Amino acid sequence: MSSSKPFHATAISYLFAFIALASPGCAAAQAQAKPDTTKMPSKMPWMNKSLSPDERADMVLGQMTLDEKIQMVHGQGWGVLRAGAPIPPKSNFGAGFMAGIDRLGIPGIDLADSAVGVRMAAYQSRYATLLPSTLGAASSWDPDAAFLYGSVIGRELRAQGFNMSIGGGVDITREPRNGRNFEYAGEDPLLAGTMTGMLEKGVLSEHVMNDIKHYAFNDQETGRNVVNVLLDKKAMRESDLLAFEIAIAIADPSGVMCSYNLVESHYACENDYLLNQVLKRDFKFKGWVLSDWGATHSTVQSALNGLDQDMPGDDNYFSEPLKKAIQDGQVPEARLNDMVHRILRSMFAAGVIDDPPVRTVVDPFRGRDDAQHIAEESIVLLKNSGSILPLKTAASSITLIGSHADVGVLSGGGSAQVDAPGGNAANPQPGGSHWGEAVYFPSSPLKNIQAKSPQASVKYASGDDVAEAVQLAKSSAIAIVFANQPLHEDMDATSLALPGNQNALIDAVAAANPNTIVVLETGGPVSMPWIDHIKGVVEMWYPGIGGAQALANILFGDVNPSGKLPASFAKNDEQLPHPTITGLEGATFTPSGRQHKVKPFDLNYTEGAKVGYKWFEATNKQPIFPFGFGLSYTTYAYSGLTVDDASHTVRFTVRNTGQREGTEIAQVYVALPSAANENYRRLAAFQRVKLAPGQSKEVTLTLNQLCLSVFNTDQNGWQLLPGDYNVMAGPSSSDTALKATLHIHP
Ligand code: BGC
């Protein structure tokens, strides 16, 4: 392992909104000025929009000095993220900034963290829409919703003067306790890749540069700067890297952010296999690789092994030292040209030069409506005994317990934290939130549930006093316990159990009231030891600024739930491939949840490509709720599966057998021929199907070619094995009654 400079990000005190508000003289940055090309057409022929982005990039490159090229490949420092760091002139107060080249009409790059909405808005007294967590949005299995999600982010970034989004997390839920699962899109490569790809396509549609991260295998936060992930190449390509491959093919990202961890003993940001061989050669990625903040560890090795830009840049690996390495011949100038070309072509391709951001006031109403729509598709109904849901509007009394359900809904933390309008609804105080704080957004379940049922007596108990909560629950027709799992970057959940005394609270309330429903606000899967004692479970994830409205619509049946789980919910930690989080034992944390330095350790992903439902099937274990599972207020029947061997298309019929209109998420899985030596199925296609009561629709889907293939490491390519493929269709990964065979001939 490299003995290079110790990595400081974990020990860094980020500067948050509360400091921002105290900062003197934060003059508002100007949106990037559009160069006046009419005055100098002959001097700037690259402003000709009819040329390709690559041609335009090469023309600019031809005019650049060595210093200008160097200027583009490293950021201008920690800026607003780190207390006391200088804020680069002209920057827009985002997570990062690359200075432009004015004389050539090339604007700077203003990058804003925006995994679930634009971060750091409070710094400039700006507003940003909080969307549902991306894991929540993945529960919609709706690529159009994902595109809408990205377009909200792109729209609001433009309005705030940013021209690049940093988000697009697609690390799969290999570790269900990963503190960042809420920023990702679940455990399956096809679902996660499709949803994240479409999201980032939505960002790009607003002429804002987009990003995919954290490449790769940053599947847990514990020891993220020192962990050495071990996994064979076949398993890599068929699991995590497949999610990246699918997302990148859809999104055509401007940037891919390499991650903090090591993979097979090389840091991800200087990993020739990951960056040069897989990302740039095999995936044909045309954009640039930027390091996660502080994830660069060398100059020459990083440059040669595929890193194109060092962020945030003040460790100076890619400034003077890179210039010297070029002058000394350790790094060919052609490699520097390639770095700069990749950045410039992405700027032209996204349109940030032809159509730079224009400052406007963010439309909070439109953002909220979009967020609510996505939340309504994201919420998953997991249990509904005796049809306790939907609630009757005439219910006499409802008690809500816990999770600040009187005032708000929970959001995810870390660099995905969006600033709450008016501050933390659960803990209002001057200034913004700090790292590790559980921030609630002002979308009140209490108010929205009361509005649906005006005659009912709707009361709230915090749950801090269990006896008080039980008393209130006893006197109500319905008890709804809101249970939370706050998560944030830099820390994992130590177990699948709900934190604090929430399991005991649910047990106590369920014992007092037979009509108990649990609403989960979690960042990822949790265990539910009380599942047999309660009537209803609704997973609403971190539901965003329209969350309470969406929840009330689902609870009262104005919206029929359609979401399905993008990750398996294990019964307990013992069922997981790694019952305890590797490295957690040695990790220590600051009070706010930042990791102190831990000793380097190996994390051997012995489960290989068997992530999530594949693991459960291969090891014959039953989770509480399987991948792809979700209930509706209506019922569906599947029939008539046929497969076309030539085109790999499948057809089947889904019928709404109930009394309500609904949308069913139909799923198709395949088990490969025996030569593949796999004891699990793979998701190969899915589709949302909207159906009126009694209506039938024939669904035609093409099986994803990569999901039918194995990765042949000798040939370094995907291979379709000849043989019989078992094709299964149905409502979830563990309920696929329809079966047919796809024959692939040699
Ligand atoms: C995170 C990235 C983030 C960056 C900039 C890092 O700590 O891992 O996801 O984009 O900080 O804030």
What separation in Å is there between the alpha carbon of 393 and the centre of ligand 1? 45
Kindly tell me if the per-residue pLDDT of 61 is higher than 90.
yes
In short, whether 166's Cβ falls inside 6 Å of ligand 1 is yes
What confidence tens digit (pLDDT) does each residue in 691-711 have? 999 999 999 999 999 999 999
User: Exposed, middle or buried by CB within 10 Å (0-12, 13-18, 19+), for 516?
Assistant: buried
216 preceded by cis ω (within 30°)?
yes
Quote the pLDDT of residue 1: 30
User: Which percentage of the chain shows pLDDT scores above 70?
Assistant: 94
Q: Whose CA is nearest to atom 9 of ligand 1?
A: 415
Does pTM surpass 0.75? yes
In short, whether 490's Cβ falls inside 6 Å of ligand 1 is no
What separation in Å is there between the alpha carbon of 295 and the centre of ligand 1? 10
**Alpha-carbon distance 702 to 450, whole Å?**
45
The strand pair at 457-461 and 397-401 is best described as: parallel
Query: Which atom of ligand 1 has the smallest separation from the CA of 224?
Result: 8
Quote the pLDDT of residue 679: 97
- What is the 8-class DSSP label of residue 200? H
Task: Taking residues 485-497, report their average pLDDT.
Answer: 97
Q: Which amino acid, one-letter code, is at 251?
A: A
What separation in Å is there between the alpha carbon of 398 and the centre of ligand 1? 41
Phi, psi of 602 (to 5 degrees): -90, 145
- Exposure string (b/e) for 196-212, b if CB count within 10 Å is 16 or more? bbbbbbbbbbbbbbbbb
Query: Which of 487, 489, 492, 592 most suits a substitution to test ligand 1, by most atoms within 8 Å of the C-beta?
Result: 489
In short, whether 641's Cβ falls inside 6 Å of ligand 1 is no
What separation in Å is there between the alpha carbon of 415 and the centre of ligand 1? 6
DSSP-assigned letters across all residues of 389-427: -SPPTT-SEEEEESTTTTT-EE---GGGPPPPTTS-TTS
DSSP-assigned letters across all residues of 32-76: PPPP-GGG-TTT-GGG-TTS-HHHHHHHHHHH--HHHHHHHTB--
Angle at 378 between CA 372 and CA 384, to 5 degrees: 115
> Within its chain, how far is the Cα of 94 from the centroid?
19
User: Which percentage of the chain shows pLDDT scores above 90?
Assistant: 90
Task: Taking residues 626-631, report their average pLDDT.
Answer: 98
What confidence tens digit (pLDDT) does each residue in 154-195 have? 999 999 999 999 999 999 999 999 999 999 999 999 999 999
**Alpha-carbon distance 334 to 318, whole Å?**
15
- What is the 8-class DSSP label of residue 46? G
* Residues 425-430: contacts with CB under 8 Å, at least 24 apart: 430/18, 430/21
Kindly tell me if the per-residue pLDDT of 28 is higher than 50.
no
Quote the pLDDT of residue 500: 97
Kindly tell me if the per-residue pLDDT of 243 is higher than 70.
yes
675 CB-near residues (< 8 Å, 6+ apart): 721, 722, 723
Task: Taking residues 574-585, report their average pLDDT.
Answer: 95
Length of the chain: 746
What separation in Å is there between the alpha carbon of 71 and the centre of ligand 1? 21
Quote the pLDDT of residue 36: 52
Q: Whose CA is nearest to atom 7 of ligand 1?
A: 293
What separation in Å is there between the alpha carbon of 581 and the centre of ligand 1? 22
Query: Which of 91, 113, 488 most suits a substitution to test ligand 1, by most atoms within 8 Å of the C-beta?
Result: 113
In short, whether 211's Cβ falls inside 6 Å of ligand 1 is no
- What is the 8-class DSSP label of residue 85? P
In short, whether 113's Cβ falls inside 6 Å of ligand 1 is yes
Angle at 688 between CA 650 and CA 565, to 5 degrees: 105
Kindly tell me if the per-residue pLDDT of 10 is higher than 90.
no
The token pair at 572 is 């307990």
Q: CB–CB of 271/304 below 8 Å?
A: no
* Residue 18 pLDDT grade (very low, low, confident, very high; cuts 50, 70, 90): very low
Kindly tell me if the per-residue pLDDT of 275 is higher than 90.
yes
In short, whether 725's Cβ falls inside 6 Å of ligand 1 is no
Quote the pLDDT of residue 34: 54
Q: Whose CA is nearest to atom 2 of ligand 1?
A: 292
What confidence tens digit (pLDDT) does each residue in 221-236 have? 999 999 999 999 999 9
Q: CB–CB of 238/609 below 8 Å?
A: yes
Q: Whose CA is nearest to atom 11 of ligand 1?
A: 293
In short, whether 292's Cβ falls inside 6 Å of ligand 1 is yes
What separation in Å is there between the alpha carbon of 743 and the centre of ligand 1? 46
- Alpha helices by DSSP H, 176-269: 189-204, 233-238, 240-251
Q: CB–CB of 257/309 below 8 Å?
A: no
Kindly tell me if the per-residue pLDDT of 494 is higher than 60.
yes
In short, whether 229's Cβ falls inside 6 Å of ligand 1 is no
Q: CB–CB of 655/637 below 8 Å?
A: yes
Q: Whose CA is nearest to atom 8 of ligand 1?
A: 292
Q: Which of 181, 229, 295 is nearest to 582 (CA)?
A: 229
In short, whether 293's Cβ falls inside 6 Å of ligand 1 is yes
In short, whether 215's Cβ falls inside 6 Å of ligand 1 is no
Query: Which of 292, 309, 490 most suits a substitution to test ligand 1, by most atoms within 8 Å of the C-beta?
Result: 292
Kindly tell me if the per-residue pLDDT of 19 is higher than 60.
no
Quote the pLDDT of residue 35: 54
Q: Which amino acid, one-letter code, is at 271?
A: N
What separation in Å is there between the alpha carbon of 707 and the centre of ligand 1? 30
Task: Taking residues 629-649, report their average pLDDT.
Answer: 98
Q: CB–CB of 190/180 below 8 Å?
A: no
Q: How many helices (H) and strands (E) does the chain have?
A: 19, 27
In short, whether 95's Cβ falls inside 6 Å of ligand 1 is yes
Q: CB–CB of 441/130 below 8 Å?
A: yes
* Residue 96 pLDDT grade (very low, low, confident, very high; cuts 50, 70, 90): very high
Query: Which atom of ligand 1 has the smallest separation from the CA of 213?
Result: 9
What separation in Å is there between the alpha carbon of 260 and the centre of ligand 1? 10
Quote the pLDDT of residue 678: 98
Q: Which of 687, 743, 691 is nearest to 720 (CA)?
A: 743
More confident: 317 or 12:
317
Average pLDDT across the chain, whole number: 94
In short, whether 415's Cβ falls inside 6 Å of ligand 1 is yes
Computed on alpha carbons and rounded to an integer, the radius of gyration of the chain in Å comes to: 25
Angle at 158 between CA 78 and CA 72, to 5 degrees: 45
Quote the pLDDT of residue 454: 93
**Alpha-carbon distance 719 to 733, whole Å?**
24
Phi, psi of 367 (to 5 degrees): -60, -45
In short, whether 550's Cβ falls inside 6 Å of ligand 1 is no
Quote the pLDDT of residue 598: 76
What separation in Å is there between the alpha carbon of 579 and the centre of ligand 1? 27
Query: Which atom of ligand 1 has the smallest separation from the CA of 169?
Result: 9
Query: Which of 293, 296, 488 most suits a substitution to test ligand 1, by most atoms within 8 Å of the C-beta?
Result: 293
What separation in Å is there between the alpha carbon of 213 and the centre of ligand 1? 9
